[in-house]
């Protein structure tokens, strides 16, 4: 299990848990809670993905501009 | 990274994204985006080997290093813009994707202006006054 693969599976796990929470909360007719959990999940995942985007950007500037 | 690893990684990320699409579409897009970023990062390291070879060739051919670094910048811009445009198009934002590509084209043209000037100057010297 390479680190990249682990990151992708973690994001998949978060998405799946949020989807489950949505259906559960919807059955308990707490619609607004469902929307809040989805938003929280997306924000958490975005924080992780932005970290990888920053790493990618540094790689590109290092390789193409070799300014580091 | 070995090519089979890359292909296996890409395929499994695609499967995960399609599974997620029916339950939580936002997360499907995020999984695809993250897989794209990770694949791109692992490929970029291999590209630096090619660029070093090209840099060696250009210095041995006494080409002005300014031109070569501009060409490298343009290639870098092209990579990033193409990546972002494809991600936007996957998410269904065709208009946004074309705006990203427009921005990339404009920044490439701006980078190319000094080179065009030099070419025109050298042409003018060739023409008899």
Which range scores top for mean pLDDT: A20-24, A64-68, B105-109? B105-109
| Confidence band, pLDDT 50/70/90 cuts, at residue A8 | very high
Q: Pick A15 or B49 by higher pLDDT.
A: A15
Q: Give pLDDT, residue A1.
A: 75
Q: What is the pLDDT of residues B10-43, one digit of tens each?
A: 999 999 999 999 988 889 999 999 999 999 998 8
Cα–Cα distance, A32 to A36 (Å, whole number): 6
Cα–Cα distance, B27 to A38 (Å, whole number): 9
Cβ of B98 under 8 Å from any chain A Cβ?
Answer: no
Q: What is the predicted ipTM?
A: 0.87
Tokens linked to A34: 């469902």
Cβ of B65 under 8 Å from any chain A Cβ?
Answer: no
Neighbours of A52 (CB within 10 A): 18
Closest-CA residue of A relative to B25 is: A15
Q: Give pLDDT, residue B98.
A: 96
Tell if the CB–CB gap between B76 and A64 is shorter than 8 Å: yes
Q: What is the pLDDT of residues B61-84, one digit of tens each?
A: 887 778 888 888 999 899 999 999
| Domain ranges, ordered by start, for chain A | 3-64
Neighbours of A13 (CB within 10 A): 12
Cβ of B14 under 8 Å from any chain A Cβ?
Answer: no
Burial of B111 (0-12, 13-18, 19+ CB in 10 A): middle
Closest-CA residue of B relative to A45 is: B30
Mean pLDDT of all residues in A8-27: 92
Cα–Cα distance, A21 to A33 (Å, whole number): 9
For residue B123, the distance in angstroms to the closest alpha carbon of chain A comes to 29
Cα–Cα distance, B115 to B54 (Å, whole number): 19
Tell if the CB–CB gap between B37 and A46 is shorter than 8 Å: no
Which residues have CB under 8 Å from A33's CB, separation 6+?
A25
B51 contact residues in A (CB cutoff 8 A): 63-64
Q: Give pLDDT, residue A67.
A: 60
């Amino acid at each position: 299990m390479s680190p990249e693969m682990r990151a992708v599976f973690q994001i998949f796990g978060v998405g799946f848990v949020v989807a489950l929470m949505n259906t559960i909360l919807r059955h308990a007719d707490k619609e607004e809670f469902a929307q809040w959990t989805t938003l929280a999940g997306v924000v958490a995942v975005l924080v992780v993905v932005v970290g990888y985007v920053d790493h990618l950007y540094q790689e590109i500037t290092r390789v193409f501009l070799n300014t580091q | 990274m070995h090519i089979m690893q890359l292909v296996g990684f890409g395929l499994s990320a695609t499967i995960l994204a399609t599974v997620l699409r029916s339950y939580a579409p936002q997360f499907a897009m995020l999984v695809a985006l993250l897989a794209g970023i990770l694949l791109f990062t692992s490929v970029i390291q291999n590209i630096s080997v090619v660029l070093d070879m090209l840099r060696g060739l250009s210095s041995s051919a006494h080409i002005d290093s300014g031109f070569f670094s501009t060409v490298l910048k343009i290639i870098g811009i092209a990579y990033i813009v193409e990546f972002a445009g494809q991600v936007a198009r996957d998410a269904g934002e065709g208009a946004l994707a074309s705006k990203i590509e427009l921005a990339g084209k404009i920044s490439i043209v701006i980078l190319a202006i000094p080179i065009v000037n030099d070419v025109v100057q050298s042409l003018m010297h060739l023409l008899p006054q």
